[in-house]
Structure 1
């Protein structure tokens, strides 16, 4: 599981920051990519990453401001041109279906794959659930209907305790697979080996929270509780809380306070205003670290591994992009 930031700017494209889009790479878990928002130029940003549009099977839209959706029609069209055939599902506020369908209709764009929509009720709730993940949403506080998303990976089965099996002199082979699957087995010598005795404790799933634009509101804390990673907007800096409230945005210090109070593992600040250009953007992180140490300001194309267990503040990893990559 990895987070890749395709756009980290606020409002309009800037020289070194495109507008908002972040990909949750679930290649090992589901062989797919989930996209959160698709600001103008998102598909251009993908050209500098290993992500291919046909691997995206879910797109979650936080709100309908242009810097979060203007890249969506072009991306959907390119997915057809690049051979996409598998269905794609778009989740978002009421109106997202009309925006997409009108754009495709007026441009006479015909997709080669089924396109499905789920428009969220104003109160949010669980928007997707399967055997591996649950995605829920809650409304935030912006000038327009906006949601934050909480992605929870279900707990994984514990590992097979091979050393214990060896101590019990259980012969290697298909029986290991049966035990790993939770099935008790009877050995040729009549002994019964119970799966629960040779499987370690379940591994807690990871929790990732990705917020839309918002000013301070209680639902941010609810979404962020015990998250391994919190992706939070930081349009304003220390001492700018009044400005943030007036313009329905957040400060880095408000984000850090939520992370500290809700037991977050790592805080990633995005939606950076063009006022914070170059190294000055790092000041947002330095200020926030006064409250919550494990904070980073993200840049376009940063990729962060989300490991099991305790999160760290290591530098973003760099992914090589081989020619003809099919990711």
Structure 2
């Protein structure tokens, strides 16, 4: 899995940064792309990226402020022209369906693929055999949600020595064991998957938060995540401003990462008062003083998701 930031600015785009949209590319896991938010200009950003709308499977909307959704009608309308004809599901807070359907109706846009819209107020919003996605309400001026994406543990690798002990050779039986099915040998002996598989491979956990100021639901969403994507709209000298406008500072993002025992913190959603990377460095330095494994989100750069080092418990 890899994260790709299509926009990292708060409120309005600048010449250096676009507004919020984050891609989660899962080519190995399900040959799919998921998007989190779709600010104005997202489809244009995708044209300059390695992401493919033909792979787009799901869009998760954190909240309905314009810098997070104004790119949605255009992307949905033109997706098919970029090879996207498979079904697409959009998840979002109440009002998402009305916004999309009203825009499509008034613009007389016609989609040649199935579009499903799922509104939610938190809880498990999606689950299949491989992934579960949970949402929880954050604290913002309108309802804003964070998402926790959990990849379910996968079976371990087949152990060649154990397979040889049963006289098993490469073939279809290997696939059945990998799928969790027991097999019956000619001798009448049953071989169970756990007899020949190594330890399960732990799945990844990625937490992506919408706009928020510090609140109680951040920690359960982020607990022991491999990666936490957290807004850091302001430096901490503007903590009062951040609180007034329902945003977070770099130090507050770092404190959340430390409390939740995450592997890596990626900060995004920067105020346009910070014009370039040089002006963003103080935010990074503030956060790293609290949580060293912090980075700034870079637009148009793939960031591999890696397992966090195992630890006993969150910090106090």
User: Normalized against structure 2, the TM-score is what?
Assistant: 0.92
Following the alignment from structure 1 to structure 2, what is the Cα–Cα distance between the partners of residues 35 and 247?
A: 25
Following the alignment from structure 2 to structure 1, what is the Cα–Cα distance between the partners of residues 110 and 8?
A: 30
CA offset digits 1:130-180 (Å, max 9, x no partner): 111111110111111111111111111111111333456543433333333
Where structure 2 has 5 or more consecutive residues not aligned to the other structure, the ranges are 311-316
Contact 2:263 2:307 in 1 (8 A): no
What corresponds to 2:228 in structure 1? Answer: 230
What corresponds to 2:19 in structure 1? Answer: 19
Following the alignment from structure 2 to structure 1, what is the Cα–Cα distance between the partners of residues 206 and 269?
A: 17
Partner secondary structure for residue 29 of structure 1:
helix
CA offset digits 1:25-71 (Å, max 9, x no partner): 11221111111111010011001101122321211111111100110
Question: What is the 5 A alignment of 1:129-148?
Answer: 129-148=127-146
1:57 matched to 2:57? The reply is yes
Partner secondary structure for residue 265 of structure 2:
strand
RMSD: 1.8
Partner secondary structure for residue 175 of structure 1:
helix
Following the alignment from structure 1 to structure 2, what is the Cα–Cα distance between the partners of residues 276 and 96?
A: 31
User: Normalized against structure 1, the TM-score is what?
Assistant: 0.89
Contact 1:40 1:69 in 2 (8 A): yes
Question: What is the 5 A alignment of 1:72-221?
Answer: 72-121=72-121, 124-166=122-164, 169-188=167-186, 193-221=191-219
What corresponds to 1:306 in structure 2? Answer: 305
Change (3 A) 1:107 1:173: closer
Contact 1:53 1:78 in 2 (8 A): no
CA offset digits 1:274-320 (Å, max 9, x no partner): 22222121221111111111100112112111134549xxxxxxxxx
Instruction: Tell me which protein shows more helix as a share of its residues.
Output: 2
Question: What is the 5 A alignment of 1:244-259?
Answer: 244-259=242-257
Where structure 1 has 5 or more consecutive residues not aligned to the other structure, the ranges are 312-327
Number of equivalences: 309
CA offset digits 1:69-114 (Å, max 9, x no partner): 1101110111133343222111111111111111111111111112
